[in-house]
Structure formats: structure tokens, C-alpha cells
Structure 1
Amino acid sequence: MESTFLSGQLLIAMPGIGDPRFERSLILVCAHDQEHAMGIAVNRPVEGLTIPDLLERLEIKTSGAMDPDPVLIGGPVEIERGFVLHTDDYHAEHSQDVEGGLTLTTTREVLEAMGAHDEHPRKAILALGYAGWGAGQLEREIRENVWLTVDADEALVFDDDYDTKWTRALGKLGIDPQFLSSEAGRA
């Protein structure tokens, strides 16, 4: 029996989603089962906040200069909590495997590893907050054409061209966003 759970898939917000927090969002589903789903938006930078800035605020030492990668808005739930989505070459005690070579870690240990040049994951994004759904909610939203799904790939998840990620994700499905409508229908 093939699983219908979407862990490791990208959710692409459809036009007219009706919630400005999710307009043109691209969300990696990190956990999904019959009880709930949770994901991290991978294309919504926090204006003016970089990972080195945040590490400094948290008094986490860094070894050398770091790229000024932005912190992302992961979603509207628990926005004060940090989530690091990274390649699976790094694991902490409480890391959660996602799918497709991706891992999610929420401990201070991963932040310290990001600041250390010899211990960090090969690729990582740091997001504040997450998107969450209750039992059956995500499945219902997909049936109602709120979201499209596409296979995640490392290049799209970790790319720093945030303005085009949503369009490129649609392109993986062969969809040109100018032909999308905010109206849904049934044939």
C-alpha cells in the first residue's frame, strides 16, 4: 500500500490562497501522518535579519566570517522558535529525518555547529516558526486546490534566490504561473 503522506514534498501555495501569510509560499513538509502535518516555508526571508546576526544575539560563537544568509519565516506557528532544515550529513541527538536527504533540528547544538566551520551541515536554512495542520486538514486543503505538491530537491530548498523559488517550483510541474487562476472548479 503506497503512503499518501507528504513528508519531504514541497507545497506550492495557489494564487488566491486567501491568507497573506501564505501568498506565494513554498513549504517543505517535514512531518505528516494521520494526526498532523508540519512544514517550513523555504522562500520567505525575514527583512534585515541574517543567521550571523541571530547567532550573535544568542551569544553563539562563530569561527570566522559567515555568509550573511537570511533567517526565514518558517510559518505563523511558534514564531519565536527556531528550526534548522539541513542536509543529512549532520545529526544531533534530537534531529528528525524528513525525506530525500533532509533533516530538521531544533536544538541549540545545531546553531553552534552552524557557527563552527568544521562541524556544520553542508547546507542549512534557519527559520523562525512553522506551518501546522491538524488531522485531515492538509489533505482537505489539497483537495480544495489550496496547494499543489511537487518533489523537493536540494537545489530548490537551499537556493538563495527566494524571489523565484515559487515560480521555479511550479515550473517543475510544467506550470506557468501566469496561467493559474485563483478560482477552483470541478469538471
Structure 2
Amino acid sequence: MNKTESLTGSFLIAMPSMPDPRFEKSVILLTSYSKEGATGILINKPYEMNINEVFNNMGIEKNENKNDIPVLNGGPVEMDKGFIIHNADLELKGSTEIEGINCAVNTTKESLAVLYEKEAPLEANLYLGYCGWTSGQLDNEIKSNDWLICNSHKDIIFSKKYDLMWEKLINEMGLNLSFLSNKSGLA
């Protein structure tokens, strides 16, 4: 596996000194990473709405949903577009598996309707928008010490403890927030 493939499916964790306020204390699941660029979904910034409200906003009348699927801010790109991250064991037409983790991403309205009708419990989240980087942009941000990288796991992705994710992952890495520096360098 080469370096460009290895980051897909990883978490990006914003450093405490993150210069962009949109990503303060953010956790991003990288859904693709190559020499052409990278994409990811911000997983810990919930909106104050659920899937029922999304359907209402789309003009689709449904009975109250069996599933309280959360709706989260997936990132600043195409914020009117929905992205579903779900357990890969749940087969949805049009899903693309995310390498390195038992999850998949889907953008079809048909899949959203299927999720809406599924019986609970269900491992799925709906995100509006995504994060995107051009060729070399994410690499430069990592070198500038804007992001930490760690292995991802489903427990975090489908946890509803959004306000605790960032600090939990930093602690799992064995890091102490008070010792993290925004200075980067090479040894």
C-alpha cells in the first residue's frame, strides 16, 4: 500500500491551533485521498434537526420516522447535498465502501428513503456538505501542523457524543492537549 492510499478511511483531527474556525475541534473521516486531492466528511458537528425535518424541507411528506437519524454538518463544500455514511453491512444501491473501515458512503435520494423506512437500530448518519482539498493542499496542511491523523473506527462515527469525539480521539492517541504545539518541524 502506498502513502496516498493509506489515509483513506483515517480520521483527521484538528489541532487546537487550527487557523480556520469552521474546523475548530473537528473530526473528519477521509473518504478519499490521492495525488489529485482528498475528500472527507466532518463527523462531529450536528445540526439541530433530524431526518424528518430534512424530508419536510424537501417537500416529501412521510409519517414520523422510525429512525432518529442525525443530520450533521459534513463540511463547507456543497452544503445542500446529502451524504449518508452507513455500516457497510447495510446494502444500499449506489454505496461506495470506504477503504480501511466497515463503512460506506452514499449520495442517492433513493437510499435516503430506504434508510427512512428501515427498522431501528441503524448505523447511519446524514451529513450535509463535505470537505475537499485540491492536489497537495491537505498534505501542506498536515505539514503545517493543522491536523493529526489516526485510525478511524465505527464506534466513533456512529457515536452520538459529538461534543466529546475530538478530545476522546486525542486522548486515545496518548496525547495531552496542554503539550500540543502549533509549531511544526522536521527532525
Q: How does 1:18-37 map to 2 (within 5 A)?
A: 18-37=19-38
Q: 1:133 corresponds to which residue?
A: 133
TM norm structure 1: 0.89
2: distance between equivalents of 1:62 and 1:37? Answer: 38
1: distance between equivalents of 2:32 and 2:121? Answer: 20
2: distance between equivalents of 1:29 and 1:60? Answer: 33
- Structure 2 counterpart SS, 1:170: helix
1:54 CA drift (Å): 1.1
1:64 CA drift (Å): 5.1
Q: 1:43 corresponds to which residue?
A: 44
1: distance between equivalents of 2:124 and 2:12? Answer: 19
Contact 1:52–1:66 at 8 Å: present in 2 too? no
Q: 2:150 corresponds to which residue?
A: 150
Q: What code does the residue aligned with 2:34 have?
A: D
Alpha-carbon displacement from aligned partner over 1:148-184 (angstroms, at most 9, x marks no partner): 1110001011100001100111122111223223343
1:88 and 1:19, CA in 2 relative to 1: closer, same or farther beyond 3 A?
same
1: distance between equivalents of 2:152 and 2:124? Answer: 15
Runs of 4+ in 1 over 6 A off after TM superposition: none
Q: 1:8 corresponds to which residue?
A: 9
- Is there any run of 5+ residues in structure 2 with no aligned partner, and where? none
2: distance between equivalents of 1:33 and 1:87? Answer: 23
1:37 and 1:121, CA in 2 relative to 1: closer, same or farther beyond 3 A?
farther
Q: How does 1:47-58 map to 2 (within 5 A)?
A: 48-58=48-58
Contact 1:11–1:147 at 8 Å: present in 2 too? yes
Task: Name the stretch that deviates more: 107-116 or 57-66.
Answer: 57-66
Contact 2:41–2:74 at 8 Å: present in 1 too? yes
Contact 2:29–2:41 at 8 Å: present in 1 too? yes
- Structure 2 counterpart SS, 1:56: helix
1:62 CA drift (Å): 5.2
Q: 1:106 corresponds to which residue?
A: 107
- Structure 2 counterpart SS, 1:4: helix
1:185 CA drift (Å): 4.3
1:32 CA drift (Å): 1.1
2: distance between equivalents of 1:36 and 1:172? Answer: 28
Contact 1:55–1:111 at 8 Å: present in 2 too? no
1:60 and 1:150, CA in 2 relative to 1: closer, same or farther beyond 3 A?
farther
Contact 1:25–1:44 at 8 Å: present in 2 too? yes
- Structure 1 counterpart SS, 2:138: helix
Q: What code does the residue aligned with 1:12 have?
A: I
Q: What code does the residue aligned with 2:98 have?
A: V
1:139 CA drift (Å): 1.3
- Structure 2 counterpart SS, 1:163: helix
Alpha-carbon displacement from aligned partner over 1:58-106 (angstroms, at most 9, x marks no partner): 3163575332x43111000001111011110223332111121110000
- Is there any run of 5+ residues in structure 1 with no aligned partner, and where? none
